[in-house]
Amino acid sequence: MAETPPRIAVRRTYKLYVGGAFPRSESGRSYPVTSADGSHLANAALASRKDVRDAVVAARKAFPGWSGRTAYNRGQILYRVAEMMEGRREQFAAEVAAADGVSAARAQELVSAAVDRWVYYAGWADKISQVVGGANPVAGPFFNLSEPEPTGVVGVLAPGGSSLLGLVSVLAPVITSGNTAVLVADERAPLPAVTLAEALATSDLPGGVANILTGRLAELAPPLAGHADVNALDLAGAGGLAAELEELAATTLKRVLRPGPEDDWADADPGLARVRPFLEIKTVWHPIGR
């Protein structure tokens, strides 16, 4: 009986996630990704400035539909993301262990925390208006109501050192309130971000709501910060580029959430600290009838 020839493993091709699809970088480039101990893991797509522009276009196109959904429905969809991640737990855990250099048990804990983070913000989705908005007392015969609205397209720089939990902790609050996002994954450890993109694509999240790019931070962050159709920035992973990116953001009067030493991705109850900066407050005056 002839021996069965050894099987060649089918390696994953890590791509970008833009507009609900998985394109390669328009430049055709890739770069090697290594584990925390320096072992080669894969080659990830090396996004370009053109990919940033394409991602912003996709995010802008998706914004009216996503922001126009009911808050309750957005919460349902975020919960569905948690379900899809739960079904790929072992894959996430293996990638987090390699990326963050933690034990298998600790990787499982981090995956659980990331899944729980989606559930946490799913629960917040239809409660933001009651907490942030409300009726205001005024001196006159008027009703005065304040209502939070999403600011638009938000550029997000994923923090380093927390390849999945940190990533979810900056992405989920942005889209919870109806914003759309263009996220630049951690340059050193982008693989959990691509796997998250696959979970997003198989959930009910509309294409373009969350767009994920992998590549060099120094190449992708400046065009994102300076893009006139990006309304706000979360600089969680900006590192030494923060000052330069704030200057670029100022040219188009973007809202900017600066990185801070108080950022604690393991905090199980972060509240609305990363939701409020990306809300606009609409105030409506209405005369009281006589």
- pTM score, whole prediction: 0.92
Question: What kind and span of H or E run contains 147?
Answer: strand 142-150
User: 139 to each of 146, 202, 260, how far by Cα in Å?
Assistant: 16, 51, 40
232-234 and 255-257 strand pairing: parallel
Helices (H) and strands (E) in the chain, counts: 9, 10
User: Per 3-state DSSP, what percentage of the chain is helix, strand, and coil (rounded to 5)?
Assistant: 40, 20, 40
- CATH tag for 41-287 (out of 2.40.160.10, 3.40.605.10, 3.40.50.300, 3.30.750.24): 3.40.605.10
- Structure confidence at residue 77 (pLDDT): 98
The mean pLDDT of the chain is 93
Distance CA 30, CA 70 (A): 39
Residue whose entry in the numeric block shows the structure tokens 């914004």: 63
pLDDT by residue (tens digit) across 58-113? 999 999 999 999 999 999 999 999 999 999 999 999 999 999 999 999 999 999 99
Q: Where are the domains of the chain?
A: 41-287
CA atoms of 202 and 199, how far apart (whole Å):
5
Residues 217, 159: contact at Cβ < 8 Å? no
What's the rounded Cα separation, in Å, for the pair 55 and 59?
A: 6
